Structure 1
Amino acid sequence: MPTDASTDATVLLRLDEADELAAAWVCALAERRGIRALLIKGPALHLHGLREERVSADVDLLVEPARFEELCEAIVGSGWRERPSLLISKLTTVHSKTYLRDGWPCDLDVHSFYPGFLADPADVFEALWRHRWVLSLAHRDCLALDKTAGALVLALHSLRGATIQPRHLDELEQLVRAPFTDDERAELAALARETGCVATLESVLPRLGVEVEPTAAERAAPELRYWRERVTAGSHGSYFWMLALRKSRWRDRPRLLWRAFWPTRRDLLVARPEAVDTIRGRTRARLARWGRGIRSAPAGARAVWTHRRGVSP
């Protein structure tokens, strides 16, 4: 049926379509401003033979750290908005910001650095930038990670969630079964050492046939302890509150403990949008949250206790 030219048309994007268009768009946005950015994960991993093809719920972009905020401001200025975050996320997630937009089924996840790389974020980006690879998306050339760099990022990503999420464990197993040449193994060893992920991937690199020793700086990095705790704890929420409390000032700890015990209405509804927004509904949601916290607390405490002596000498 003919429609008036002024009538707004609604186009429903499939997730795979949205992923490709959003990736091409954000890469073009960065390029126009002269900001270096690299797509991480996504379809490049399948094209490199590192994991099976699948559609992601978000587009991951690594940005040169010095211009991270500039690109984030440009994304907001283009009509995207930052995803509402919880207090615990603000306290423990400092490496990325997530953006969403009405009508788009995917998110933009923009990173200033990637967890698990223990070298200086600027140095890590320069090393990964040398391993950039051209990927065509939505009829546009974008910059992604090559096979070597992609394998390290996938290993770090999968290892963090492998303890409680079968998909991440499965992707890790796919990675270790992927074929690598001797030259590629040598590149993996060199890049892992340069970016400081030899110790964080100590359980993965040998399975890839990569024998390499971490540098003294990597062994001494305080972040190594937190990484090992995070991997041991999985994604259990109790651990993140333990981490936030440990990093906070003493005078702030009573407030944090209260917020862990009794989240604000906003935090509760952001975390559990299915909760009924009434006094009774919010109380039920909080009680359910206590149950999950009690069940996950042993895993968090065990992670802290296991790595209490810190990093290796």
Structure 2
Amino acid sequence: MPTDVSTDATVLLRLDEADELAAAWVCALAERRGIRAVLIKGPALHLHGLREERVSADVDLLVEPSRFEELCEAIAESGWTKRPGGLISELTTLHSVTFLHDGWPCDLDVHNFFPGFLADPADVFEALWRHRWTLQLAHRDCLALDKVAGALVLGLHSLRGATIQPRHLDELEQLVHTPFTDEERADLGTLARETGCVATLETVLPRLGVVVEPSAIELASPDLRDWRERVTAGSHGSYFWMLALRRARWTQRPRILWRAVWPTRPDLLVARPETVDTLRGRTRARLARWGRGIRSAPAGVQAVWTHRRRLTP
């Protein structure tokens, strides 16, 4: 496996080929650096019978948090570049960094934690690392999550998008109809408590036949409110701006509010790359954005209000 990815490639890769090669490459890179990393989602989910076979647009890798920055630097040194992000991404996407490479149709999505696991990220990684499983990609042994850990990750991933994307809802339905042995269900309950996702998967675990109570620490986590709001509101932009405003200091809020109302040219083109990059085109895109924001705002407000009351003593 080469140490970097050539920019002189003359063969156009299909997405499925790129996924497999990129996964094998980044796993080899981490191994050479002595960095523990494990593939999440991807083909392992199909091989475990958790979802239908599908080709992903990115390769997801969970990295031990203490060495996350080191691996990101190694990926960048090998020719990959960070995906440009707008202000809202900088303020609310804290769990991963996405890398792109010319000539490669897939992304690398490198995680230092996975949303929905409320325990300390280092503890979550150690627990998931014990549930690693080997599969071969591009003629190389790579580490991925086993069936039990993969089920928890898929459940969390599907819940985040199920309210607005039918595919995620379909995958969630397939997950809850997946057969598990008694031993696997017991392991699911143990791992869910250890990683702090009993409350975040409160609508999923019982359907898997897993009866387990969340810990007091998990129920007291401020991230639980954010999770419940996110799932209720869906992935609509209005909610993320509300979240950014709530997290920001008072001195930062006027700037954030203005950028929500009138995004900069780079922010607009990142969020809507189909925008015609002229004064008229950008103005039309901003006005259309107001319409989408107004339509999605009630769901965000309702989610914030509902879960504020739910978590108030």
User: If the TM-score is normalised by the length of the shorter chain, which range does it land in?
Assistant: over 0.9
Partner of residue 109, structure 1: 109
Q: Distance in 2 between matches of 1:311 and 1:70?
A: 37
TM-score between both structures, scaled by the size of structure 2: 0.96
The separation in 2 between residues aligned to 1:166 and 1:186, in whole angstroms, is 30
Query: Matches of 1:75 and 1:309 in 2, distance apart?
Result: 44
Correspondence list, 1:136-215, <5 A: 136-215=136-215
Q: Give the whole-Å Cα distance in 1 for the aligned partners of 2:85 and 2:305.
A: 29
Aligned AA for 1:138? A
Matching residue of 1:234: 234
The 1:198–1:9 alpha-carbon spacing in structure 2 relative to 1, beyond 3 Å, is closer
Quote the Cα distance in structure 1 between the aligned partners of 2:146 and 2:312.
31
Equivalent position SS for 1:285: helix
State how far apart, in whole Å, the 1-side matches of 2:45 and 2:269 are. 35
Q: Write the letter of the residue equivalent to 1:145.
A: L
Measure how far apart 1:309 and its partner are: 2.9
Q: C-alpha distance in 1, partners of 2:252/2:59?
A: 35
Tell me the C-alpha RMSD between the 2 structures.
0.9
Query: Per the alignment, in what secondary structure is the counterpart of residue 108 of structure 2?
Result: strand
Contact 2:40 2:61 in 1 (8 A): yes
The equivalent of 1:268 in structure 2 is: 268
CA distance in 2, matches of 1:124, 1:272: 34
Once residues 186 and 113 of structure 2 are traced to their aligned partners in structure 1, the CA distance between those partners, rounded to angstroms, is: 24
**Partner Cα separation in structure 2 for residue 251 and residue 72 of structure 1:** 31
- 8 Å CA contact retained: 1:222, 1:310: no
* Residue 84 (structure 2) aligns with: 84
Distance 2:194 2:236 in 1: 31
Question: Do structure 1's residue 303 and structure 2's residue 313 form an aligned pair?
Answer: no
Structure 2: gaps (5+ residues): 1-7
TM-superposed deviation, 1:311: 3.5
AA partner of residue 52 (structure 2): E
Read off the aligned partner of 1:73 and give its amino acid letter: E
Cα 1:50–1:312 shift into 2, 3 Å: farther
Match of 1:69 in 2: 69
Determine the C-alpha separation between the residues in 1 that align with 2:77 and 2:246.
36
Q: Give CA deviations for 1:289-313 in whole Å, capped at 9, x if unaligned.
A: 1110011000110110110135386
User: 2:128 & 2:30 partners in 1: Cα distance?
Assistant: 17
Alignment of 1:13-32 (within 5 A): 13-32=13-32
CA distance in 2, matches of 1:156, 1:230: 11
% identical equivalent positions: 85
Contact 1:19 1:56 in 2 (8 A): yes
Shift of 1:273: 1.2
**Contact preservation (8 Å) 2:9, 2:103:** no
Larger deviation, residues 301-310 vs 85-94:
301-310
Distance in 1 (alpha carbons) for counterparts of 2:125 and 2:312: 26
Contact 2:113 2:121 (8 Å CA) reproduced: yes
- State the TM-score, normalizing by the size of structure 1: 0.96
> CA offset at residue 139 of structure 1?
0.2
Look up the SS of the partner of 1:149 in the other structure.
helix
In structure 2, give the amino acid aligned to 1:291.
G
The aligned counterpart of 1:221 is 221
Deviation at 1:9, TM superposition (A): 5.7
* Preserved contact between residue 219 and residue 312 of structure 1 (Cα < 8 Å): no
In 1: Cα distance, 2:240 partner to 2:295 partner: 14
Runs of 5+ consecutive residues of structure 1 not aligned to the other structure:
1-7
What secondary structure does 2:308 align onto? coil
**Which stretch shifts more, 101-110 or 245-254?**
245-254
The answer to whether the 8 Å contact 1:219/1:311 transfers is no
Which residue is 1:3 aligned to?
Answer: none
Structure 1 contact 221–311 (Cα < 8 Å) conserved: no
What residue number does 2:37 align with?
Answer: 37
How far is the alpha carbon of 1:109 from its aligned partner? 0.2
- AA aligned to 1:270 is V
Is the Cα–Cα contact under 8 Å of residues 97 and 109 in structure 1 kept in the other structure?
A: yes
Classify 1:312/1:27 alpha carbon distance in 2 versus 1 (closer, same or farther; 3 Å).
Answer: farther
Determine helix, strand or coil for the equivalent of 1:49.
Answer: coil
